[in-house]
Amino acid sequence: MVKYIGKKIWYGLWVFWGVITLIFFLFKVLPGDPARMMLGQRADISSVEAIQKELGLDRSYWVQYINYLNDISFVSVHKHSNEDSFFYLDHQKYTAQTLITIGDKSVVVKSPYLGRSFQSGRKVSDILAESFPLTLLLAVVAILFAMIIGIFLGVLTSINPDGWVSRTIIGFSAIGVALPSFFAAVLIAWIFAYILGEYTGLNMTGSFKEVDDFGRGEYIQIKNIILPAITLGIRPLAIVVQLTRSSLLNVLSQDYIRTARAKGLSKYRVITRHALKNAMNPVITAISGWFASLLAGAVFVEYVFDWKGLGVVIVDSLEHYDFPVIMGSVLLISVMLVIINIVVDILYGVIDPRVRY
């Protein structure tokens, strides 16, 4: 099992390196001069050149790429020389702990540095630290909603697959798969917060923390997560229902299930103790994939409901061509995707020992 986990982590690191490389060169070929964006179109040439030198944009793409890897990694190599040197260690970026020094080079341990926003000048890591927990919270609540309700409805439809209840649930799940998230967000906000707002008490927009109207600071508004979480959870819920149903029906037709029934076990015990666990592999795959996509695809839903998460940050950054924030956001989402895939592979090995071999 240790060898299996180590191999998955090694593959994950290679995927992560590929994502980093793709992100860097993709944003380098996009049109636009970051220095002009920071200073405005009327800036003089000397000011633009000074900003380009400060950001390291006057160097070749290869040098910028190596320095970018140096900045975002936990272990880096740096030179003890002037600021124009290759691998220069800027202590204003991060605090580093030197491991070993050889000549004019040092190997240091530090926190990743994602750059600064072109618009606000704040560290990208600080911006993401404020917004990403809200996106993660929203995604977790949405996937829990989809998983719990979806598995329950999937089991319910597999007990009597030809009944009207099963047909109704499958029909609604098909609608849920076809319903775009941005349209569902507007529709759900309009119905439950505008038309039925007097009865539901829900707001059309709002984040996890709201500012008091009387200036007494922030307070937590838990109910604001209900509508965006349901909106995000509709499509994975529909997928989980259909996968649970089809997988469970396949497992219930196996010989060992018939043996369990012949022993006199109740239908509830057969499903919960014997069938459900063996039917969960495709469901886990769907849940993991959808959880990762919720982190990346919550942009429109967060924007509609004004949920102050990573989606709102990405949209605002795209409007202002704030490349460091966009790159940092995409990189963070990529890290989560890689981690989730590794965890899911490990769960496969735990649930089904045959996967390890």
Break the chain into its structural domains and give their ranges: 124-356
pLDDT at position 93? 60
CATH 3.40.50.300 fits 124-356, yes or no: no
Is 355:349 a contact under the CB 8 Å cutoff?
Answer: yes
Instruction: Report the predicted TM-score, pTM, of the whole model to 2 decimal places.
Output: 0.75
Tell me whether residue 215 is exposed, middle or buried, using C-beta atoms within 10 angstroms of its C-beta: 0 to 12, 13 to 18, 19 or more: exposed
Q: Give residues with Cβ within 8 angstroms of 37, minimum separation 6.
A: 118, 320, 321, 322
Is 67:90 a contact under the CB 8 Å cutoff?
Answer: no
pLDDT at position 173? 81
Instruction: Locate 254 and state its tokens.
Output: 């196996």
pLDDT at position 232? 87
Please tell me what DSSP assigns to residue 191: I
Instruction: Locate 211 and state its tokens.
Output: 């500012």
CA 259 to chain centre: 43
pLDDT at position 215? 59
211, containing H or E segment: strand 209-211
pLDDT at position 80? 59
pLDDT at position 85? 47
Instruction: Count CB neighbours of 73 within 10 A.
Output: 14
pLDDT at position 103? 66
**Spatial separation of the C-alpha atoms in residues 225 and 300, rounded to whole Å:** 15
Q: Give residues with Cβ within 8 angstroms of 191, minimum separation 6.
A: none
Residue ranges in the chain modelled with pLDDT below 50: 83-86, 88-89, 91
pLDDT at position 84? 46
